[in-house]
Structure 1
Amino acid sequence: MPDTGATMNDLHLLQQLERKVLWLSSWTIHHANHVRENRDGLKVGGHQASCASVSTLMTALYFAVLRPEDRVAVKPHASPVFHAIQYLFGRQSRERLERFRAWGGAQSYPSRTKDADDVDYSTGSVGLGVAATMFSSMIQDYVRLQGLADDGEPPARMVAVLGDAELDEGNVFEALMEGWKHDVRNLWWIIDYNRQSLDGVVNDRLFEKITGFFRAVGWEVVTLKYGKLQQQAFEGPAGGALKAWIDDCPNQLYSALTFKGGAAWREHLARDLKDADGGREFLDSHDDAALQRLMTNLAGHDMAAVLEGLRGVNSDLPHCFVAYTVKGFGLPLAGHKDNHAGLMTPDQMAGFREIMGVAEGEEWSPTAGLEADADDLMAFLRAAPFNARKPLPPAPLIDVPEIAAPAGERMSTQEAFGRILNDLSREDSDFTRRMITASPDVTVSTNLGPWVNRRRIFDRNPQPDVFREEHVASPQRWEKSPTGQHVELGIAENNLFLFLSQAGLADRQFGARLLPVGTLYDPFIARGLDALNYACYQDARFMVVATPSGVSLAPEGGAHQSVSTPLIGLGQPGLLSYEPAFADELAAIMAFGFRHMQADDGAAIYLRLSTRALAQPERELSAGERDAAVLGARWLVEPSGDAEVAVAFQGAIAAEALKAFEEIAADCPGAGLLAVTSADRLYRHWKRDGERSHVAALLGRLAPDAGLVTVIDGHPATLAWLGGVKGHATEALGVTRFGQSGDTIDLYADQGIDADAIADAAARALVRRAAR
């Protein structure tokens, strides 16, 4: 018997469960497409072939290998397999399986927030769930080395089950490089190497590139290629020639012959092995059915071979398992290059049902059609190590103090942010100990340097600051330590957002609440937008500080000037965006943000900041004014009841708005000046509360026929909707074109957001008012 760590009876039960997982996943998809009523005529879809290729791997993982503390990212197209396994564990309901891909049912792709069963990582956008396990492993190291989580228990293994085509995603390789730099541990990636993607067959010899790259970044590579039947055949007649034939067979041919079946295999092997010693004897000893079983007996479908590979790990080094599989294994779709989104027809399902021994009416039965005692099977499921998993208790909330605004006559919001963190770095409290910062190689240029000087850089292995030891003058102290609270990442925004996503889930993954803060250049949010969306979809909580922003970064030119990022903040679910103009507003918003990140109905926070220094008002915000900054806006100059016009601004354009307002107010006494700190929050509350919202109350102080001018160093649509709150005629100013190098005077004039443009817009609004 192979060294699988399983008894013969356990191996038999696992093979029976493998059949049941294959059946349930296939039936769930079939039921959604061919049995359930289709009210709108849209294709429901599903991926029966992609499920079939991982049924053995996931059966072995969940029922035999995983421990309760382990975390798993399941490839998106294997969602029905995951749900079937959870159903057998008793953690998924039949009703939700019957409503797969329907309202209230199991999700098309595993979702932490939408699914009722035990999803560790949301997947869907291929490659992101895979890379998330990398950063989850880093966060586990962090919380354990910081003493924030119990290290008396063995660390969890972060496991990703991924399709081979997911390795086409560049973010996977960006993550691998980051993992190598941070000496990542306790990480398994299991590649479903079925050699087929959505549009065709994967390139030959891809596995050589895969294994070479993984080994280059310090991973152990385990190749699971030959099943036990094949291994036995290699010892028999023509065994060496057969093995060489399999190794040399192009992917497309292997897939095509798999689909065609035993007779096709025989035709090719008879020709190609005719001169091999024992070739005829080998073929004569296998009928067509046996030949099909042998040639498709790849290790990824052989329970004993899979258990040997997975249970053979004896270190915490990261492991890559290349598991050879057949896409659609066990189905009539097996091997066909078009099977990715293919569905079995009702006739094919009827034939499959007969093969699986499932009678009509017993489709959802956990034991129907199996050659195992039902009581033994249920007992085995109850005893599976992973089934002992219990939900983590809620992590305690972190008390957030009020944050003082830094003093200064002139200051940018980026500078204010850095000074606030510098002040916080001096404190020794649970709040500051729970903060963790990260940046993709822009730590200094986003003003995180003072925080890092005091709180140090996180690294598993202590490393001194060589420049400091060599007495080279530098304001930065780049000392690395397991107790450091800053993670320095390479220039890859996807990695930043994936890191923030996992740091922002530390309370739910490891029972240790963190308050993550990440910084990057505002225009480069777009480079990591898929990962940001992924982070928010998981309900990860973090604060992303994007700076500098807009054309206000004037000399840097258009490539470094952002236009549409305020609309990203406005439109992204799970992300609450702010763009304050002044340091005292920023301090109030940051204090709120750290609390909101922990709230049951909270979200991640996006602060869009600027390097443009503004004169700071001589004031001390009252509690009501701080609340107004958090709610999204307040009147700097309240309009009179008969005001003819008002100006609303957001962010660094405040100086131009103030200058223009002086001219406007001279001609229109009673005009109002509205300082918007969050168009996002105003909009959300308006859509939710309508006339009872904060913005409706603010704009209700304007006369119904008053004109409204909005201005932002960003896309004008960010604020243009304000006119719809009370029906005010609106002139919306903002940036709609790429910028260029210059100074703010030229760029603001070019984009039509300078003081003259604001005054002119107010004049147009007055003309429109008069014409109404």
Structure 2
Amino acid sequence: MNHAPVRSRPPLDDRRLQLLGQLEKKTLWLSHWMIHNANHIRPKPEPLKVGGHQASCASMATLMTALYFHELRPEDRVAVKPHASPLFHAIQYLLGHQDRDRLERFRAFGGAQSYPSRTKDADDVDFSTGSVGLGAAQTIFASLVQDYLVEHGWMQGRPPGRMIALVGDAELDEGNVYEALLEGWKNHLRNCWWIIDYNRQSLDAIVRDNLFTRFDELFRAFGWEVVTIKYGHALRAAFAEPGGERLREWIDACPNQLYSALTFQGGAAWRKRLLDDIGDQGPVSALLEARSDDELARLMTNLGGHDLPALLEAFATAPTDRPVVFIAYTIKGYGTPLAGHKDNHGGIMTVDQMAAFKTDHRIADGREFEPFEGLAEDVARDLPAFLESVPFARTFPRRFAAPRLAVPDTLPFQPAETLSTQEGFGKLMAELGKAREDFAGRIVTTSPDVASSTGLSGWINRVGLFSRMPQEDTFKAEKVPSLQKWGLTPEGRHVELGIAEMNLFLMLSAAGLSHSLFGERLLPVGTLYDPFVMRGLDALNYACYQDARFVLAGTPSGVTLAPEGGAHQSIGTPLIGMAQDGLASFEPAWVDELAAILAWSFDYMQRDGSDPAPEHDWLRDETGGSVYLRLSTRQLEQPTRTLDKALRDQIVAGGYWLRPPSPSTSVVLAYQGAVAPNVMQAALRLAERRADVGVLAVTSADRLDAGWRAAQRTRRRDRDAEDRARPSHVERLLAAVPRDALLVTILDGHPATLSWLGGVRGHRVQALGVEHFGQSGTIPDLHRAYGLDAAAIVEAVEEGLRRPGFAEV
């Protein structure tokens, strides 16, 4: 089925081209003045450079004018090159979607952001950018998610949009770009455009010569249509003159550094070099002599990326049934005194240069931010109506809201006497594969080639693998026995990725924004080996920064994955879960805890700030977010109990008492995750020595810590508030523990994860955990070696109680 969008473009006559050209000038001016104002005019409390990227904006002014004011439709989504942020804000300002105050506060608190941000900007950013390469790759996965929605019949009556990336050529040095391109090829990518700003300059250097040929070959290898936009109409016309073909040959052979240097030096330098290299006292010399120095400089910089007719023609004739990359030749700093200089990346025009630039643009003092200042009277008269007719601007904002799906308080699973949390997760997902509730039908899973080893096999056997192009399970067709029945169909609900964790998080990010981007809610669940969370941290942070919503299961984890050795064992991931904004992390020990947490997670993912603040804790649960589950392969004997609402609430809030303290309690063992049996054994041994021991089951150090810190902030902010007397969940848990008791914290991860518990009420702490890379062995061997077994816990208690101020047991 062909779901390529059908598009009608406004007629492109001379008047429209003229107005587009004037808008190009206005976006260039506003973007540059915004940066100048931030650095030279707006009061600053310190002498630091505010920054901005005037040259990077200039190279894209024509490209973005052609897109936003002519080519784009409301259903299209764009990832804007990070350093073109001021240009984006200027365009949105002209379209009425950004206000002057935020432009004046560019890069200041509450103002337009330095790089486009979905969550911090007010002007309808589609995809956040900033960490280069990620915005571009995100468009591939957004396109795949759009296809998923189309194939499942959830976008009836709505045309699919193009997912468009405006990419700096130096961004293509990022390795994640090529991982994403390969995934796009495997998943039959379409409705995706990348427009490369090929200005041949990076932050520190000039891009290598003939890099465009590598781009051409790479993209074609991945199935993309390659459209090169190298020359503008003036250069094309010059090539048709006598001597023009030799001029073309010289340009094609010119090294990037030389072209940039001559651009900066201007017309006289162009003339001297061209006459020296190809002047012939005949047609070539005549071609050059027919132009003044200024005219020659304009001709030699008339590249395709700065020529509106060339760009609009390329966009209009591009194919619609496959991905397209446009290699648009541009000049960094085009139209400014910074053009071509190799130091211009972070350069900013001087006050004198800006004064001359201001005169060129006919801007009066005090009217620098006026939308139509400096334009001819007839242009200023016609532009408001023109802007109102721009197709892209007809719908604003272009964000959707999807209905919230009801989720039960806990999820069913087949109990067993012993289970690991990884096995329990698999059972829970398999049951969801059979479920008929609306929310279950919106669950989509993804994994970087480790679905079977992270517990998803049962789920996939029920729901199948997703692909636009059906593919039969050959083993099944050939009657070869296999536990995996994994045919590829458009109805499948698991997206199997290659072994690239960056792609996993980008896929989760795209699927986790489907409710906003496409108006259809998905509940994405991703799995990976827990230590390899760190392989995709940049993309995980990027997904959370965009406020994407998903569940991430990191499994297996810790040195408890004993035989696998240090390469597959994780240490610092609990701290990552605590530190990552927008991500609530959990590490349950028991499967019934996991069932309650997972049910809560599917609801938490859907929250948007409209829920009332919960009364039982200080967490910002009304706003929702994503969830990280750190799971283990260690089989534990499962408790025989039924969780009531009060206990489920405590599990979700971060912890509960397995063995409550008493006024005579001298020791509390606070544990998280799969070390639970070790802690229970230690508690029994200590009880034999007549120690009164409390046992605190921590399901989420992250949630306990976040609630405590939120309560502290509120108390500092308003000391007279009624809420001042209301403790956080962890404060309530520890309130019954005598002040002179010892806390011993234990987890299969970095000990700092729980060591802060002593700061809640001033208890002394002995923190046990893992600080060094693991190795292969048995679980008893490794728990003994790293101080996690019952003997080590008892020893830590005895050592702590020997300190001054503690009575001997």
**TM-score interval, normalised by the smaller of the two chains:** over 0.9
Q: Give the drift of 1:768.
A: 2.4
1:361-372 pair list within 5 angstroms: 361-371=366-376, 372=378
Q: Secondary structure at the match of 2:802?
A: helix
Q: Paired residue for 1:232, among 202, 220, 237?
A: 237
Q: Residues 160-212 of structure 1, C-alpha deviation per residue, up to 9 Å, x if partnerless?
A: 00100000000010000000000011000000000000001000010000011
Aligned to 1:273: 278
Structure 2 match to 1:28 = 34
1:275 Cα deviation from its structure 2 partner? 3.4
Asked if structure 2 preserves the Cα contact closer than 8 Å seen for 1:146 and 1:483, the reply is yes
More moved, 421-430 vs 232-241: 421-430
**Aligned ranges for residues 95-114 of structure 1 at < 5 Å?**
95-114=101-120
Show the counterpart of 1:59. 65
Aligned mate of 1:121, from 127, 139, 147: 127
Structure 1 residues not aligned, in runs of 5+? none
2:556 is the counterpart of 1:557: no
C-alpha distance in 2, partners of 1:465/1:405? 28
Residue of 606, 625, 628 corresponding to 1:606:
628
* Correspondence list, 1:64-103, <5 A: 64-103=70-109
Residue 228 of structure 2 corresponds to 223
Q: Distance in 1 between matches of 2:399 and 2:498?
A: 32
1:123-166: CA deviations, max 9, x gaps?
0000000000000000001011111222x232101110010000
- Partners of 1:279 and 1:258 in 2: how far apart? 20
Q: Which residue of 2 aligns with 1:399?
A: 406
Given the alignment, which residue of 566, 569, 580 partners 2:574? 566
d(CA) in 1 for partners of 2:782, 2:72: 58
SS in 2 for 1:768: coil
- Which residue does 1:262 correspond to in 2? 267
Cα distance in 2 for partners of 1:153, 1:619 equals 49
1:159 alignment partner in structure 2: 164
Matches within 5 A, 1:375-390: 375-390=381-396
SS in 1 for 2:86: helix
Give the stretch that moved more between structures: 664-673 or 78-87.
Answer: 664-673
CA displacement at 1:625 relative to structure 2: 1.3
How far 1:214 sits from its partner (Å)? 0.5
Native 8 Å contact 1:328 1:335 kept in 2 = yes
C-alpha contact (below 8 Å) 1:122/1:538 kept by paired residues: yes
Change over 3 Å in CA distance of 1:437–1:622 after alignment to 2: same
For residue 315 of structure 1, report the CA deviation from its aligned partner: 2.0
The reply on whether 1:745 has 2:780 as its aligned counterpart is: yes
Cα shift at 1:429? 2.6
Letter of the structure 1 residue corresponding to residue 13 of structure 2: T
C-alpha distance in structure 1 between counterparts of 2:524 and 2:803, whole Å: 48
1:682 counterpart (704, 721, 734): 704
* 1:734 matched to 2:785: no
Alignment deviations for residues 325-352 of structure 1 (CA, whole Å, 9 cap, x no partner): 0000011000000100000010010011
Name the aligned partner's letter for residue 294 of structure 1.
L
CA drift at 1:277: 4.7
Tell me: CA distance 1:221–1:629, structure 2 relative to 1, closer, same or farther (3 Å). same
Q: Match of 1:323, SS?
A: strand
In the other structure, the counterpart of 1:331 is: 336
Could you tell me whether the CA contact under 8 Å between 1:645 and 1:765 is conserved in 2? no
Distance 1:62 1:316 in 2: 22
Report SS of the residue matched to 1:263: helix
Q: Output aligned runs, 1:189-228, within 5 Å.
A: 189-228=194-233
Are the aligned partners of 1:455 and 1:485 in contact in 2 as well (CA < 8 Å)? Answer: yes
Question: Residue 668 of structure 1: CA displacement?
Answer: 4.1
2:733 equivalent to 1:698: yes
Query: Which secondary structure does the structure 2 equivalent of 1:195 belong to?
Result: coil
Confirm or deny: 8 A CA contact 1:187 1:316 kept in the other structure: no
The 2-side partners of 1:664 and 1:209 are apart by 68
Distance 2:582 2:103 in 1: 27
Residue 626 of structure 1 deviates from its aligned partner by 1.4
Aligned AA (2:682): A
Q: Does 1:12 align with 2:18?
A: yes
Partner of 1:514: 522
2:400–2:518: 8 Å Cα contact kept in structure 1?
Answer: no
Superposition deviation, residue 361 in structure 1:
1.1
* Matched residue, 1:590: 598
Do the aligned residues in 1 keep the contact of 2:407 with 2:599 (CA within 8 Å)? yes
1:663 aligns to 2:675 (yes or no): no
- Secondary structure of 1:577's aligned partner: strand
Matches within 5 A, 1:466-481: 466-481=474-489
Residue number among 554, 560, 563 corresponding to 1:546 in the alignment: 554
Q: Is the CA contact (8 Å cut-off) linking 1:406 and 1:583 kept in structure 2?
A: no
Are the equivalent residues in 1 in contact too, given 2:448–2:501 (CA < 8 A)?
Answer: yes
| Deviates further, 357-366 or 540-549 | 357-366
In structure 1, C-alpha distance between the alignment counterparts of 2:399 and 2:31, rounded to whole Å: 28
Query: Deviation string for 1:627-683 (max 9, x for gaps)?
Result: 111111001000111211100000011111111111122224431000000000000
CA distance in 2: counterparts of 1:66 and 1:389, whole angstroms: 12
User: Match of 2:248?
Assistant: 243
Contact 1:551/1:713, CA 8 A, preserved across alignment? yes
CA contact (8 A) 2:556 2:632 kept: yes
1:508/1:393 Cα in 2 relative to 1: closer, same or farther (>3 Å)?
closer
Distance 1:430 1:277 in 2: 77
SS, match of residue 671 in structure 2: strand
**Contact 1:4/1:307, CA 8 A, preserved across alignment:** no
Q: Deviations over 1:696-731 (max 9, x none)?
A: 000111001111000110000000000100110000
Q: Is 1:709–1:761's contact at 8 Å kept on the other side of the alignment? A: yes
* Alignment counterpart, residue 47 of structure 2, candidates 41, 48, 52: 41
Aligned to 1:649, which of 668, 671, 690?
A: 671
Letter in 1 for 2:775: Q
Q: Give the alignment's TM-score, normalised by structure 2.
A: 0.94
Distance 1:504 1:228 in 2: 43
1:706–1:769 contact (8 Å) kept in structure 2: no
TM-score by length of 1: 0.98
**Does residue 1:534 correspond to 2:542, yes or no?**
yes
Once residues 64 and 690 of structure 2 are traced to their aligned partners in structure 1, the CA distance between those partners, rounded to angstroms, is: 71
* Mapped partners of 2:45, 2:689: distance in 1: 61
Distance in 2, Cα, partners of 1:769 & 1:623 = 42
Taking only the aligned residue pairs, the percentage that are identical comes to 58
Give CA deviations for 1:333-379 in whole Å, capped at 9, x if unaligned: 00000100000010010011111111111100111112342120111
2-structure distance, mates of 1:145, 1:771: 66
Could you say which residue in structure 1 is the equivalent of 2:748?
Answer: 713
Matched, 1:766 2:772: no
Secondary structure, counterpart of 1:770 in structure 2: coil
- Match of 1:754, as an amino acid? D
Once the two structures are TM-superposed, the CA of residue 316 in structure 1 deviates from its matched residue by 2.5
For 1:664 and 1:576, how far apart are their aligned partners in 2?
A: 34
Distance 2:690 2:382 in 1: 85
What is the CA distance between 1:751 and its match in structure 2? 1.2
1:616 to 621, 638, 651: 638
Q: Given residue 51 of structure 2, which amino acid in structure 1 is its aligned partner?
A: G
Residues of 2 paired with 1:80 and 1:406: CA distance? 55
Amino acid at match of 2:179: E
Answer whether contact 2:558 2:748 (CA < 8 A) is retained: yes
CA RMSD of aligned residues (A): 1.2
> Helix, strand or coil for the counterpart of 1:259?
helix
Q: Which moved more, 1:620-629 or 1:468-477?
A: 620-629
- Give the counterpart letter for 1:614 in structure 2: L
Q: Give the direction of change, closer, same or farther, for the CA distance of 1:254–1:5 in structure 2 (3 Å limit).
A: farther
Instruction: State the secondary structure of the residue aligned to 2:805.
Output: helix
3-state SS, counterpart of residue 467 of structure 1: helix
* Whole-angstrom CA distance in 2 between matches of 1:653 and 1:277: 87
**Runs of 5+ unmatched residues, structure 2:** 1-8, 609-622, 713-725
Candidates 637, 649, 652, aligned match of 1:630: 652
